[in-house]
């Protein structure tokens, strides 16, 4: 039903219509529970066997003034047979819980799409607050769409009457009523949500009964209203995916679990230092609740203390990790320099958000690449890797710990607000079968110096304080191989070169760059990194199906870049680099390979649409249709 997979609506009433994929967007006040509603719909959709991708688009205000356009919180889900990490360009079904949600979100609905509105919330006052001069339900605003109008507020109140809740509490169940209706539309099983409600409200039986009653009532209405004109149920094709055990996972969950798993595979205890910051705090919350696995989480007094805590932990022989976002990363940069100079393993996760300064904390961007690669005083190289989707975060987190411990270096892992909050189905790996990379701490005092180096990796030995005979001092002052302070000019030259060579050498330890789609040479390569993976991959797939000579390269390793990337790029006539920034990977590629790459840049706080990338590719390949 999205633009690329449009299916003609069947004319026959009462039959479920078959679709390949659908985009549903729930929108309401930030206090309406839209994120929870979307989360439940995601779970039910995953259990029905669909591939899916979600997008949480919410304001920074916790409870913005009711009914205002800036308080609209939205949750989007794209599901069907083949989604590949894209939350969808155009919305097929929009749920608008109030006039403000309709005002803000209607532009996302495709022409002919379904819009479900709660007529009970369309009071004159709410219309005014949303900026409507006339009632959009009465004029021509919805003419090009299929509106489904119910007084959801009133129907919810009727449904939960028996619970004895106050009117204010009762009407808050309308998100569950609406979810029930949407469940019916797509033939979803209500049971997992009923189980969840029973668990969530176990201590408040009134709320439990009311929410379940609302869910069931919304569903029941769908069944009876089916008879009426223009209101139809759909069947969406399930995904054809690899067999295995699945769950849904968000980027934040995958990062948290990946970091824990990485530490386990390295044979290390795990210590997280973090200071609350949107959108990275979720990782702290998840890990703080997993103490039973022996991990230590520490909410530091500031961003600097958070990274210093992690450095202290690594110095003492644990895996020190810190998570933050752009502004916090700026505060951490001096301490990261210390970890570079002292050559200690450290993983720093940056869940990027829109900037500069405080910017738009809840909106996504990938504009911290310069900061990650270059953003420190002096020549201070470290490794930078990036995650392309929610589920990819798991593998990338493990890889970050592997590189940090093998090369005794800080590693910056770039995720972003979009993938941190996005959910996907995930084929659960068997940790017991994953390759281990146990750390060997130095215990032998024979010929030991603290900055002697491994010939292959150039890494210095990692010694746990407490090891007899290996007492030594390290720090941020320049040192020589003995570890002692040195102001010798030639030594500083050499140490600077060695630090650079160590990081450059990581490129020999990681897989060569492969193609995400298409041939390894041709007319146009689209090169991306991070969360633009989904839209780029779809766009390239569609245009290749149309016969265009275009390929997709998606980078996990940002610094050092893969050894073969220069040769790969040289095989293409043109290179296009879509990024949610003003051209940062673009600068890197141009500087490293002297390639005439072009940027496609979007910094609206919203992910790319497939069609935007398609249009840019068509323009480059001069296709006129």
Q: Which of residues 258-277 bind another protein (CB under 8 A)?
A: 260-261, 264, 269, 271, 273
Helix (H) or strand (E) holding 598: strand 598-601
CB of 361 to another protein, least distance (A): 22
CB of 574 to another protein, least distance (A): 39
CB of 191 to another protein, least distance (A): 9
Please report the DSSP string for 26-79 in residue order.
EEEETTS-HHHHHHHHHHHHHHTT-EEEEEEE--SSSSPPTT-GGGEEEEEEEE
Contacts of 449 (CB under 8 A, 6+ apart): 472, 481, 482, 483
For another protein, which is the closer residue by CB, 346 or 369? Answer: 346
142 φ/ψ angles, rounded to the nearest 5 degrees: -100, 15
Stretch that binds another protein, among 9-17, 125-133, 173-181, 294-302 (CB under 8 A): 294-302
202 belongs to the binding site for another protein (CB under 8 A): no
Q: Out of 276, 327, 359, 429, point to the residue binding another protein (CB under 8 A).
A: 429
Closest CA to 589 of 599, 600, 602: 599
CB of 488 to another protein, least distance (A): 15
The number of C-alpha atoms within 13 Å of 391 and in the hemisphere containing its C-beta is 17
Q: Out of 304, 439, 500, 621, point to the residue binding another protein (CB under 8 A).
A: 304
462 belongs to the binding site for another protein (CB under 8 A): no
Closest CA to 65 of 31, 101, 26: 31
Task: Name residues contacting another protein, limited to 274-293 (CB under 8 A).
Answer: 290-293
Give the β-pairing of 572-579 and 557-559.
unpaired
CB of 309 to another protein, least distance (A): 4
CB of 501 to another protein, least distance (A): 25
Q: Out of 65, 187, 205, 465, point to the residue binding another protein (CB under 8 A).
A: 465
Closest CA to 29 of 119, 130, 150: 130
Distance CA 95, CA 115 (A): 6
Task: Name residues contacting another protein, limited to 179-198 (CB under 8 A).
Answer: 192
84 belongs to the binding site for another protein (CB under 8 A): no
**Residues in the chain, overall count:** 625
Stretch that binds another protein, among 46-54, 123-131, 140-148, 497-505 (CB under 8 A): 46-54
Q: What is the distance, to the nearest Å, from the Cα of residue 116 to the centroid of all Cα atoms in its chain?
A: 28
CB of 266 to another protein, least distance (A): 13
CB of 98 to another protein, least distance (A): 31
**Residue 81: how many other CB atoms lie within 10 Å:** 17
86 belongs to the binding site for another protein (CB under 8 A): no
302 belongs to the binding site for another protein (CB under 8 A): yes
Closest CA to 165 of 202, 210, 121: 210
Residue with tokens 């050092």: 560
For another protein, which is the closer residue by CB, 450 or 513? Answer: 450
Q: Out of 317, 327, 359, 505, point to the residue binding another protein (CB under 8 A).
A: 317
316 belongs to the binding site for another protein (CB under 8 A): yes
Distance CA 262, CA 259 (A): 5
- Residue 394, Cβ density class (10 Å: 0-12 exposed, 13-18 middle, ≥19 buried): buried
For another protein, which is the closer residue by CB, 257 or 533? Answer: 257
428 belongs to the binding site for another protein (CB under 8 A): yes
For another protein, which is the closer residue by CB, 306 or 526? Answer: 306
CB of 282 to another protein, least distance (A): 16
For another protein, which is the closer residue by CB, 189 or 546? Answer: 189
Task: Name residues contacting another protein, limited to 107-126 (CB under 8 A).
Answer: none
CB of 261 to another protein, least distance (A): 6
Please report the DSSP string for 383-415 in residue order.
EEEE--STTHHHHHHHHHHHHHHHHT-EEEEEE
Task: Name residues contacting another protein, limited to 207-266 (CB under 8 A).
Answer: 238, 240-248, 257, 260-261, 264
Distance CA 272, CA 211 (A): 37
Distance CA 401, CA 310 (A): 13
CB of 223 to another protein, least distance (A): 23
Distance CA 312, CA 301 (A): 15
Q: Which two tokens stand for residue 516?
A: 């995400």
Distance CA 115, CA 68 (A): 19
Stretch that binds another protein, among 64-72, 299-307, 508-516, 583-591 (CB under 8 A): 299-307
Q: Out of 309, 418, 451, 608, point to the residue binding another protein (CB under 8 A).
A: 309
For another protein, which is the closer residue by CB, 131 or 294? Answer: 294
- Which residues share a beta bridge with 525? 551, 575
Q: Out of 467, 496, 582, 611, point to the residue binding another protein (CB under 8 A).
A: 467
CA angle in degrees (0–180, nearest 5) for 30-90-250: 55
Stretch that binds another protein, among 202-210, 360-368, 404-412, 427-435 (CB under 8 A): 427-435
Instruction: Give the x-and-dash track for 484-523 against another protein (CB under 8 A).
Output: xx--------------------------------------
CB of 172 to another protein, least distance (A): 25
> Measured between alpha carbons, how far apart are the two ends of the chain, in Å?
23
For another protein, which is the closer residue by CB, 487 or 622? Answer: 487
Q: Which two tokens stand for residue 67?
A: 């009914």
Instruction: Give the x-and-dash track for 431-450 against another protein (CB under 8 A).
Output: xx------------x--xx-
CB of 132 to another protein, least distance (A): 40
For another protein, which is the closer residue by CB, 397 or 558? Answer: 397
Q: Out of 26, 177, 183, 315, point to the residue binding another protein (CB under 8 A).
A: 315
- With beta carbons less than 8 A apart as the criterion, state whether 26 and 105 touch: no
CB of 422 to another protein, least distance (A): 17
Distance CA 311, CA 302 (A): 14
Total binding residues toward another protein, as defined by CB under 8 A: 78
Using DSSP's 3-state secondary structure scheme, residue 293 falls into helix
Task: Name residues contacting another protein, limited to 381-410 (CB under 8 A).
Answer: none
- With beta carbons less than 8 A apart as the criterion, state whether 412 and 348 touch: yes
Q: Which two tokens stand for residue 393?
A: 């975060």
Distance CA 341, CA 170 (A): 60
Task: Name residues contacting another protein, limited to 320-349 (CB under 8 A).
Answer: 320, 334-335, 337-338, 342
Could you give the C-alpha distances from 587 to 242, 338, 521, 532, 599, in angstroms and in order? Answer: 38, 27, 22, 17, 9
């Amino acid at each position: 039903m999205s633009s690329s997979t449009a299916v003609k609506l069947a004319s026959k009433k009462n039959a479920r219509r078959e679709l390949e994929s659908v985009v549903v967007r729930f929108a309401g006040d930030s206090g309406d529970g839209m994120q929870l509603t979307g989360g439940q719909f995601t779970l039910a959709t995953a259990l029905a066997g669909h591939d899916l991708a979600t997008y949480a688009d919410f304001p920074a205000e916790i409870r913005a003034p009711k009914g205002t356009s800036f308080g609209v919180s939205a949750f989007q889900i794209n599901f069907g047979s083949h989604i590949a990490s894209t939350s969808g360009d155009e919305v097929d079904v929009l749920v608008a819980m109030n006039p403000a949600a309709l005002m803000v979100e209607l532009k996302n609905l495709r022409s002919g799409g379904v819009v479900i509105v709660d007529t009970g919330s369309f009071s004159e006052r709410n219309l005014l607050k949303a900026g409507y001069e006339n009632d959009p339900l009465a004029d021509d605003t919805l003419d090009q769409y299929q509106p489904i109008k119910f007084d959801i507020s009133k129907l919810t109140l009727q449904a939960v009457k028996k619970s004895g809740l106050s009117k204010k509490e009762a009407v808050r169940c309308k998100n569950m009523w609406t979810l029930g209706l949407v469940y019916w539309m797509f033939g979803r099983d209500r049971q997992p949500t009923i189980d969840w409600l029973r668990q969530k409200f176990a201590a408040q039986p009134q709320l439990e009964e009311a929410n379940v009653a609302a869910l069931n009532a919304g569903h029941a209405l769908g069944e009876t209203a089916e008879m009426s004109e223009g209101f139809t149920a759909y069947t969406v094709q399930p995904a054809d995916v690899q067999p295995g055990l699945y769950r849904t996972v968000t980027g934040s969950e995958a990062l948290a679990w990946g970091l824990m798993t990485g530490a386990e595979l390295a044979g290390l205890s795990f210590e997280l230092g973090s200071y609350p910051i949107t959108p990275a705090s979720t990782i702290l919350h998840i890990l703080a609740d997993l103490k039973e696995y022996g991990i230590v989480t520490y909410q530091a007094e500031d961003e600097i203390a958070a990274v210093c805590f992690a450095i202290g932990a690594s110095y003492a022989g644990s895996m020190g990790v810190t998570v933050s976002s752009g502004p916090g990363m700026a505060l951490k940069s001096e301490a990261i320099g210390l970890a570079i100079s002292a050559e200690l393993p450290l993983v720093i996760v940056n869940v990027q958000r829109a900037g500069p300064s405080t910017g738009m904390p809840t909106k996504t961007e990938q504009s911290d690449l310069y900061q990650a690669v270059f953003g420190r005083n002096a020549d201070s190289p470290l490794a930078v890797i990036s995650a392309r989707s929610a589920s990819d975060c798991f593998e990338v987190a493990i890889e970050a710990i592997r590189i940090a411990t093998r090369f005794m270096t800080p590693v910056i892992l770039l995720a972003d607000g979009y993938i941190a909050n996005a959910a996907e189905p995930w084929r659960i790996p068997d940790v017991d079968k994953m390759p281990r990379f146990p750390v060997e701490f130095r215990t032998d005092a024979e010929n030991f110096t603290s900055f002697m180096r491994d010939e292959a990796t150039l890494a210095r030995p990692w010694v746990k304080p407490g090891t007899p005979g290996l007492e030594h001092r390290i720090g941020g002052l320049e040192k020589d191989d003995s570890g002692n302070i040195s102001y010798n000019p030639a030594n500083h030259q050499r140490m600077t070169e060695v630090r650079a060579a160590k990081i450059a050498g990581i490129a020999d330890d990681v897989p060569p760059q492969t193609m995400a789609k298409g041939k390894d040479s041709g007319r146009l390569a689209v090169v991306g990194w991070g969360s633009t993976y989904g839209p780029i991959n779809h766009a390239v797939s569609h245009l290749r199906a149309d016969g265009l000579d275009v390929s997709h390269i998606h980078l996990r390793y940002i610094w050092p870049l893969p050894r073969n990337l220069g040769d790969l790029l040289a095989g293409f006539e043109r290179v296009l680099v879509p990024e949610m920034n003003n051209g940062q990977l673009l600068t890197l590629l141009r500087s490293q390979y002297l390639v005439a790459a072009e940027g496609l840049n979007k910094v609206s706080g919203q992910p790319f649409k497939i069609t935007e990338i398609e249009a840019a590719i068509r323009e480059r390949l001069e296709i006129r249709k």
